[in-house]
Amino acid sequence: MIDIITSHCKEYDLAVGNKKISVASAPGRVHYLGENGLIGQRLLLSSSIDRTLTIAASPRTDGMFRFFSADSEERKRTTFVNLRPRREDRWANYIKTAVSIFVATPDPVVDPIPETGGLSFTIASSIPKNKGFGSSSALELASALALRPLFQPDMSDNELLARLAESHRAYFEREYDIVDFYLMMKAEEGRWTVVDESRMAKGLSCARNIAVPFAGYKTVVFDSRVPAFESAGEIEMRIEQLQKSLEILARRKSGVTFQDADAVELIENEKGMTEEMRRRCMHAAQEAVRLAALEEAMKTGDIPLIAKLFQHSQNSLRDLYEVSCPEIDWLVRRAGETPGIAASRMIGQGFGGSIFAILTDEAEKEYKAKLEDYERIFGFHPQRYEIKTDTGAKYIGLK
């Protein structure tokens, strides 16, 4: 891992040990269950991973904001006026999201432009990008944690997350990644985390950690390498279908959610929605039921039941929510046929992407032999990432 302090000091010509460089880190993450559903109502089963992003931030006096990626040797710069997101700034936009919590962007027509101030940033990351490990969320959260001591050291974690979520919505006009902030803050090594989006307004109480019964197993993510072309529109369409369906169900039961105990029965008996809408809703409602069953199975260490529940979830993604693809189905099916694989399922939004497998060393050897057939049949060479659970995001200190 890159020595971020040395890199930051070299990039910005600073003296090591000046105690003005604020450092924080955040882990990557994986969502094992519940990612596909109605934003704001999902119940997710997730964990942090042992790939982290670290950021160093220090004040400037020239009014500039400068961003340096130590991994790629890429640099970005902007001013107070241009703290708004710009397409060409790409990864730096995620840092701007955190900056906007503490630094108001002036209106160049009305507000005087500050003559002093500004910030320098350096990032270093071991989280693979564009692989569904939450690298952009880790960048936003670590940035906010590094900036808090420089601006509002007394701000609580709950207030920080609430402001970061609000800033994220304003910058990107979407909420997909907001749940990651709560997961990354709550995560513990050796445990998975249940995050209830419907409780996020209550702060970190929306997340709870649970023990996992996988001693002797390891977790490996296999990237199918299938490009998910034009999938965003399909995903948005499913979310709209869930929202419209919920409005229909609310005519029969006010305040209904897909987490309600009677949601499956309501969906089955509702005649005011199309069959396609019914399938989408059934996936969301059954997924909440599965997660509760999975948590109980983990408490008792019932590996066969855990495997079955994850398989049912994959079948639902394929048949009801319809976001899987032949390559993903093949990878999960072959995992289910391999002795020593405790669980496997698609991860990510779908239409390509990756699967996870919880397996023994011997099982992976057998599974890798099957992957040779995958490459021959589909023409893609899967990419492997072994992951472990890790601790949550943290402020490292002033260096």
In this prediction, residue 315 carries a pLDDT of: 98
Segment holding 249, helix H or strand E: helix 231-249
In this prediction, residue 92 carries a pLDDT of: 95
Pairing of strands 354-359, 207-211: unpaired
The dihedral sign for the CA sequence 353, 359, 360, 366: negative
**What CA–CA distance (Å, rounded) separates 279 from 275?**
6
Per the confidence metrics, is the pTM higher than 0.85? yes
Could you read off the pLDDT of 339-353 as tens digits, one per residue? 999 999 999 999 999
In this prediction, residue 74 carries a pLDDT of: 96
In this prediction, residue 368 carries a pLDDT of: 95
Segment holding 311, helix H or strand E: helix 303-319
In this prediction, residue 109 carries a pLDDT of: 57
Q: Of 219, 232, 142, 134, which is closest to residue 177 (Cα–Cα)?
A: 134
Domain 225-381 superfamily per CATH: GHMP kinase, C-terminal domain (3.30.70.890)
In this prediction, residue 175 carries a pLDDT of: 66
In this prediction, residue 196 carries a pLDDT of: 96
Core vs surface per residue 223-253: b (16+ CB within 10 A) or e = bbbbebeebeeebeebeebbeebbebbeeee
Q: Do domains 4-211 and 225-381 have the same CATH topology?
A: no
- 3 state SS of 83: coil
**What CA–CA distance (Å, rounded) separates 372 from 349?**
25
Q: Of 129, 160, 158, which is closest to residue 143 (Cα–Cα)?
A: 160
CATH topology of domain 4-211: Ribosomal Protein S5; domain 2 (3.30.230)
Low-confidence ranges of the chain (pLDDT < 50): none
Could you read off the pLDDT of 251-288 as tens digits, one per residue? 999 999 999 999 999 999 999 999 999 999 999 999 99
- The domain spans of the chain are 4-211, 225-381
Tally the C-alpha atoms within 13 A of residue 242's C-alpha that lie toward its C-beta: 25
